[in-house]
Structure 1
Amino acid sequence: MRTSGKLWIGKSVGEVIQGENSFDIIRYFLSFAVLVGHFRVITGIPYYFPMSSVDAVHGFFILSGFLVFYSYMRNPDIRHYTERRTRRILPPYVFIVTLCWMGGVLVSTLPVGEYLFSAQLWKYIVANYSFLNFIEPALPGCFQGEAVNGSLWTMKVEILLYITVPIVYYLMKKFRPFPVFIVIFIFSTLYNELFYYLNEKTGNEIFGILKRQV
């Protein structure tokens, strides 16, 4: 439904978001699921939890998408939307990446000079500031080559989803929501299955990366 050139959000949706809701408890549960999942991987201790860390991350994407899309529907101005997303994401992201590689000096097994002039360090800096954490997730001489902050891969996905919001909003206004949702669902499923098949068929991990990372 359209009202004054905008998609009708529905009074009930606005009341749920602005009033009392269960979003906080959902966030806490998803956060705890991620913590439990990572602890299980690090310690190697097998135990049961009703949700995997992967499913919890997907839950965060869904919850974030719901709130961000609702915000854009209320004020569909691309400049305003871009400024708000940039202010919300960029400063803390740059801070944490900087903190990681600078703090790496204190825990690296390499001498300070060798660490600072390592090609791996600069690859890490360029890749992570570019939101391409999967290219180089580790710092030289730190944590036996394990990822410093493996969760940073989600930021790339988050930004890609932010970019799709104005596009999906435009398509919803032009073709109505339901058919747009169906097309997105079908496309997403086909994309997932195609790259899964290519990864299994060729053994080339690049297809597995594209499946997971996009």
Structure 2
Amino acid sequence: MNPTEKVLLNSKLIAQVKEANNFDFIRFFLAYSVMFNHFSTLTDTDPFWFVSGGFRVKGFFIISGFLVMFSFLRSPDTYVFFRKRVQRIMPAYSLVILLCLILGFFLTTLPHHEFLTSSKPYTYLFTNLLTLNFLCPDLPGVFENNTMHAMNGSLWTIKVELMLYMTVPLIYWLLKKYNKLICLILIYVLSFIYSTTCNYLDDTTHNAIYAFLKRQFPGQMMYFCSGIIILAYFPLFRKYMKYIFPISILLFIFRNVLFLSIFEPIALASIIISVAYSFKWLHFFNRMGNFSYGIFLLHFPIIQTFIHFGLNKYSLVLTLALTTAICTYLGTLSWKYVEKPCLYKPKKLR
């Protein structure tokens, strides 16, 4: 073990991170929160869920920063790292893209031969498999009467997630070579400056491109980095967590006051990771399997399909109940038969 690894990773940190935690519960909570908020947006009804805005997705980025960097620190092999990430993300993602294409074929208002001879379905397949969903988010003649025409408006985060993963070996190298606190603060601040600049340009020019750019890779880096910062100082964080938690809640509540917005990512990260290592009664979620990713991937086209057939006009409550039940069931199948079998396993374990 080289000197840097002694600083970044030691037996105490490993033991504390691997303690029984509530990350599965938090993933479920965030996935269902995304689903509930998209339900309100797509059905054009008032939001009913108390977690609003982009904080749901930011929570996923924070958890990724904490756990993915921990995984890399334990086994800093770049090839194995990217292989594991691709095997975790892409099988279920690719399957959902194919299922959306098949769904579009059956729901399109165009004649089937016209749908198949159009170039757009193949453009949709190609660009979305490359995670470039913004280039072709919809299919011809599908969901034309819905509020939004997109097949799956949740998938923009996958591109950002993969780009964040690409920074992990670079961040590791920086932490190994230079002062880790200075490096992490610099990455955090640069991301905040990028996001603030995009926000300012969006407000002053009213050009939608800046709102789009704000959501992309550099702007989300401060949330990913916040998870890494807490990991880098995790024993210290655990020691003072009972003080950090209430302070973080206050910083998050008053994030729009003066300059306090710069602390929002690290405050949100502190709240999430504090919850992850508190409330032992939530540990039973760990026995359910990690089907939150399937819920995240599948809910949008399911809601769109119900709206297409007008079920929401008949009963919003029934539509929401069916959406929740079907997403949970299909998410469980995705985990059991697609995601879990594709997880990376060393040859000696196979």
What is the TM-score when the length of structure 2 is the normalising length?
0.57
Deviation at 1:126, TM superposition (A): 2.3
1:191 aligns with 2:194: yes
CA contact (8 A) 1:33 1:53 kept: no
Partner of 1:160: 163
Structure 1 counterpart of 2:167, one-letter code: T
Using the alignment, how far apart are the partners of 2:113 and 2:101 within structure 1? 14
Aligned residue number for residue 81 of structure 2: 81
Provide the alpha-carbon RMSD of the alignment: 1.9
Q: 2:37–2:47: 8 Å Cα contact kept in structure 1? A: no
User: Which sections of structure 2, spanning at least 5 residues, go unmatched?
Assistant: 218-350
Q: In the TM superposition, what is the alpha-carbon distance from 1:112 to its structure 2 partner?
A: 0.9
Q: In the TM superposition, what whole-angstrom CA distance separates every residue of 1:179-211 from its partner, at most 9, and x where no partner exists? A: 111101110111112222333333433232222
Partners in 2 of 1:49 and 1:99 — Cα distance? Answer: 28
CA contact (8 A) 1:131 1:155 kept: yes
In structure 1, what is the equivalent of residue 43 of structure 2? 43
Q: For the residues of structure 1 that align with 2:34 and 2:208, how far apart are their CA atoms?
A: 25
Q: Deviations over 1:7-26 (max 9, x none)?
A: 43244442243231111221
- In 1, the alpha carbon distance for the partners of 2:204 and 2:42 equals 31
1:52-201 alignment runs, 5 A limit: 52=52, 54-144=54-144, 146-201=149-204
- Larger RCO (alpha carbons 8 Å, 6+ apart): 2
Task: Indicate how the Cα distance of structure 1 residues 13 and 107 shifts in structure 2: closer, same or farther if over 3 A, else same.
Answer: farther
1:104-157 Cα distance to aligned partner (Å, 9 max, x none): 111111111111122322321222112111111111111116111111111000
In 1: Cα distance, 2:86 partner to 2:42 partner: 33
One-letter identity of the residue aligned with 2:94: V
Deviates more, 1:62-71 or 1:201-210: 201-210
Q: SS where residue 86 of structure 1 aligns?
A: helix
Give, in whole Å, the separation in 2 of the partners of 1:73 and 1:99. Answer: 36
Q: Deviations over 1:42-82 (max 9, x none)?
A: 22332443312521111011112211110000011111112
Instruction: Give the percent of matched residue pairs that are identical in Structure 1 and Structure 2.
Output: 38
Q: Secondary structure at the match of 1:151?
A: coil
Uncovered stretches (5+) of structure 1, i.e. residues with no partner: none
Contact 1:34 1:53 in 2 (8 A): no
Maintained 8 Å contact 2:40/2:48: no
Cα distance in 2 for partners of 1:12, 1:23 equals: 20
